Amino acid sequence: MKRVEGKVVLVTGGAGGLGAASARMLAREGAKVVVTDRREDEARAVAQELGDAGFFVALDVTQESQWENAMARTLEKFGRLDVLVNNAGMGIVKDIETMSLDEWRLVHAVNLDGVFLGCKHGIAAMRKSNAKGSIINISSIAGIVGVGQFPAYSSSKGGVRLLSKSVALHCAAKGYGIRCNSVHPGYVETAMVEALAQAGGQAEKTRARMLKGIPLGSFGEPDDVANAVLYLASDESKLMTGAEVILDGGATAQ
């Protein structure tokens, strides 16, 4: 039997990177996947690639009305929601002295407000369908240790880490049967990591410096994160809530 057979999953930021990898893996393992993003053409292409298992909904995670629409369309299409993957995120490579307040607020709006809204409306949708659900919030090792070039990203991802624990405890206390965990990737081969490498104008030197901080000596791949998402989406992880899954090649063990 496939590991998430019969489950309905909504993935934010599904147009590429970790979101698209997670959507593909979850569909291969038997889930129906609602692929959402504000990059509509790319996200729709991912959903179409999944065939009958895929369904596209446009979603800007900073807009509550769009979350309400996405949940309503998911329930209308599939009748339930079992898993929510809050993956949408962004970063601006500026230090604390050069970042503007508007840039700070934008990063937090996407990375933290978006996860708050997802958890809020995801819980409501799961309760409507009596699902023993799983909320999976994609954070970062930058939410555990600071990154000098990424103050807003680090702050927002640290917020995701503790928000996940709050949501887990709330749902457990209410007896909802809904779990919530966070995933903390290190450097993974995505557009965001490439942008970080390019920001200083010496991409190869920057990548070499990144690699030097990873004891296992290699960057992650999107499927490494998708495997963790699959585990947390499945009933194999039924005892996990309020926990952190760290995928960093040993970087934070030092």
Q: Which residues does the annotation mark as catalytic?
A: 153
Q: Which amino acid is it at 207?
A: R
Look up residue 194 and give its two tokens.
Answer: 């490439």
Sign of CA dihedral 35, 36, 37, 42: positive
Cα–Cα dist 236/62, whole Å: 31
- For 114-158, give the DSSP string: HHHHHHHHHHHHHHHTT---EEEEE--GGGTS--TT-HHHHHHHH
Chain-centroid distance, C-alpha 199? 23
Buried b (16+ CB within 10 A) or exposed e, 79-94: ebbbbbbbbbbbbbbb
Residues shown for the chain: 254
- Distance separating alpha carbons of residues 76 and 66, to the nearest angstrom: 15
